[in-house]
Amino acid sequence: MFDPFRSTRAKATRKLRRATVSAVTDVWGAMLAPTKPAKRKGTKKAKPAAKATKPSAVTRKAAGKRGSTRANAKSSAPATSRLKKTVPHGAAFPSGTYESAFGTRSYKLYIPAVAKSAPEPLPLIVMLHGCGQSSVDFARGTGMNTLAEEFGFLVLYPAQARDAHHYRCWNWYRQDDQARGAGEPALIAGLARHIIAVQNVDPAKVYVAGLSAGAAAALIVATAYPDVFAAVGIHSGLAVGAAHDSASAPMAMQSGNPGRRHEVQMPTIIFHGDSDKVVNPRNSRFIAIRALEPYAHLDRAVKTGRVSGGREFTRTVHRVGKGRPCTEQWVVHGAGHAWSGGHAAGSYTDPKGPDASRQMVRFFLRHRTTKKCRATQPV
């Protein structure tokens, strides 16, 4: 059986001996991209996706920490019939561009129909796509927009720029992008703050989730900005600090790495397939261990189950007594590197698994940040 890790790692090792650092990064980037599913016999060849418009160059401003945004007046046209269903009458899915001292990124923002008449500010979920994906693709695959209509929340989809990473991976493995006040964490947090300021968003109910590289980046952002994010969802990701450069990233992905200790309590829900060949499932256990460390004592409960006509799963929950869960770890048996319970209309999804999107929403909405937390953290 072909082993993508062995082949890609061998190529990177050869390049490391004779090429520049940028060339090696490109090879590791290919490894960081999710493995595309095999084509099914008898199916028509999919049409290539429309080429995305390249974001403008990074604009640095003296007062750039607050940033600025440019949003299109009209929502983008739905790409598929499934996507049309997630943009009902009264809802909107506009595109925008956010600029700050930390960089420039385009994004999509889903605003549910209920937002126009909501008596109170709505929650916000920030969704970070995986390598090789786009914002629209990620929205389509996770079905998060449909849940936004059901539960009443906004969804923000930041898009990684091609010039920031050739395969559109979030740079979770670079030291400059692993801390508060710098790089992509500051950029993503700044974009979330901007949406909070210009939309009808409850600042106490802001959450972040992601897949693969996006999951690793989401965990970094959440733990670096506990004043902005009340909880985090990790799907097929890695611990904070699991790698420190493009050379150490593949080893962490293949063998697992515990990363570094969390300094703050951050409610965390984790999904991972135990047959994942791209990111070793051990990484999900390391994430769970790190998430538990800041808590003094939590009660543990384990439950097994099976999706009707689908996959088996094991769910481990830690909480105080019968209170809200502080951590949840879902192991999806037989699943690979794909969003559990996702829609086939999107890439890297596994419709047979438990619905990760719905479970994350359920977990998120039980958590909120306090005014004290939002006021005491430095910018």
Cα angle 155, 137, 331 (rounded to 5 degrees) comes to 80
The answer to whether 82 and 137 are in contact (CB under 8 A) is: no
Q: Coil, strand or helix: which one is 325?
A: strand
Coil, strand or helix: which one is 48?
coil
Per DSSP, the three-state class of 117 is: coil
Residues 6+ apart with CB under 8 A from 303: 314, 315, 317
In whole angstroms, what is the distance from residue 239 CA to residue 298 CA? 21
> What length does the chain have?
379
Q: What is the pLDDT of residue 371?
A: 84
Neighbours of 267 (CB within 10 A): 24
Residue 316 to residue 313: CA distance in whole angstroms: 10
Which residue in 293, 287, 248 sits closest to 269, CA to CA? 287
CB-based burial label for 328 (10 Å; 0-12, 13-18, 19+): buried
3-state secondary structure 274-315: CCCCCCCCHHHHHHHHHHHCCCCCCEEEEEEEECCCCCEEEE
Asked if 150 and 365 count as a contact pair (C-beta separation under 8 A), the reply is no
Largest Cα–Cα distance in the chain? 62
DSSP string, 106-167: EEEEEB-GGGGT-SSPEEEEEEE--TT--HHHHHHHH-HHHHHHHHT-EEEEE---TTT-TT
Ranges assigned E (strand) in the chain:
68-75, 94-100, 103-110, 122-128, 154-158, 201-211, 231-235, 268-273, 299-306, 312-319, 325-332, 339-340, 349-350
Q: Give pLDDT, residue 51.
A: 38
- CA angle 136/137/143 to nearest 5° reads 85
pLDDT at 83: 45
Q: Which residues have CB under 8 Å from 12's CB, separation 6+?
A: 24, 27, 28, 31, 247, 250
pTM for the structure as a whole: 0.80
- Alpha-helical segments (H) within 21-85: 21-32, 81-85
Per-residue tens of pLDDT for the chain, all 379 residues: 334 444 544 444 444 333 333 433 343 455 444 444 444 444 444 444 333 333 333 333 333 333 443 333 333 333 334 444 557 889 999 999 999 999 999 999 999 999 988 999 999 999 999 999 999 999 999 999 999 999 999 999 999 999 999 999 999 999 999 999 999 999 999 999 999 999 999 999 999 999 999 999 999 999 999 999 999 999 999 999 999 999 999 999 999 999 999 999 999 999 999 999 999 999 999 999 999 999 999 999 999 999 999 999 999 999 998 899 999 999 999 999 999 999 999 999 999 999 999 999 999 999 999 888 888 666 5
Residues in Cβ contact with 119 at an 8 Å cutoff, skipping those fewer than 6 apart: none
pLDDT number for residue 79: 35
The reported pLDDT for the residue numbered 113 is 95
